[in-house]
A and B are shown apart, each in its own frame.
Chain A
Amino acid sequence: GAGVSQTPSNKVTEKGKYVELRCDPISGHTALYWYRQSLGQGPEFLIYFQGTGAADDSGLPNDRFFAVRPEGSVSTLKIQRTERGDSAVYLCASSLGLGNTIYFGEGSWLTVV
């Protein structure tokens, strides 16, 4: 596609539920990134993939968070047993590879009630 696409754009879920957020990167981009942004703060790194493998998952806050990219294109961020503190905008981005310009999607707004 023309840009990074994220779905859903908005998600409201109840505390304790499971959530999946999808990211479709720019075609041909081998690197894919997930960030989380809370109100008034900058994006916080979660994980990035180079191809199918997670090259760096040091930003995942705990084992409730998991991300996959099985075919090296679309990625899914999975959050188990959601908590109110997980409420944030989850941003996905992609690039041609390390050291190249990173392009962001519009984000998925997650609200846990």
Chain B
Amino acid sequence: SQQGEEDPQALSIQEGENATMNCSYKTSINNLQWYRQNSGRGLVHLILIRSNEREKHSGRLRVTLDTSKKSSSLLITASRAADTASYFCATDDTGKSTFGDGTTLTVKP
């Protein structure tokens, strides 16, 4: 069974707009990771946020974590057509990471 669930399932925006994706999970975690996957390719690691952290930044990416609500969000600012991909959150509780089914982001030029 999947621990993390991403919301929305699909998101379509114009280039330059911001994109926000959410992830909810059920049990306590050690950390949460966000990944990007282009069609037919492997997963690219974006950000790891630990359970004692609330926010992390990496370039145009901002991740927040609210352990009381068991949720995380990924914000991509000033989106580009190249950001078009599927985005997954993965929660680590017992040493293995459990993934949701992802958010498919389409950025229109």
The verdict on A1 contacting chain B, using a C-beta distance below 8 Å, is: no
Q: Contact at A101–B94, with CB atoms within 8 Å?
A: no
Interchain CA distance A99-B42 in the complex, whole Å:
20
Interface residues of A in 60-113 (CB under 8 A from B): 91, 93, 98-107
Q: Contact at A102–B42, with CB atoms within 8 Å?
A: no
Q: Contact at A98–B101, with CB atoms within 8 Å?
A: no
Contact-size category for A: 20 to 34
Q: Contact at A42–B45, with CB atoms within 8 Å?
A: no
Interface residues of B in 23-52 (CB under 8 A from A): 30-31, 33, 35, 41-45, 48, 50
Q: Contact at B99–A99, with CB atoms within 8 Å?
A: no
Q: Contact at B99–A56, with CB atoms within 8 Å?
A: no
For A40, what are the chain B residues with a Cβ–Cβ distance below 8 Å? 101
Q: Contact at A43–B43, with CB atoms within 8 Å?
A: yes
Interchain CA distance A31-B95 in the complex, whole Å:
9
Q: Contact at A41–B101, with CB atoms within 8 Å?
A: yes
A-B contact count (CB 8 A): 62
For B33, what are the chain A residues with a Cβ–Cβ distance below 8 Å? 101-102
Q: Contact at A56–B94, with CB atoms within 8 Å?
A: yes
**Listed A/B pairs (23) with beta-carbon separation below 8 Å:** A31-B95, A35-B99, A41-B101, A42-B2, A42-B88, A42-B99, A43-B99, A44-B99, A45-B98, A45-B99, A55-B95, A59-B96, A91-B43, A98-B92, A100-B48, A102-B33, A102-B90, A102-B97, A104-B43, A104-B45, A105-B42, A106-B41, A107-B42
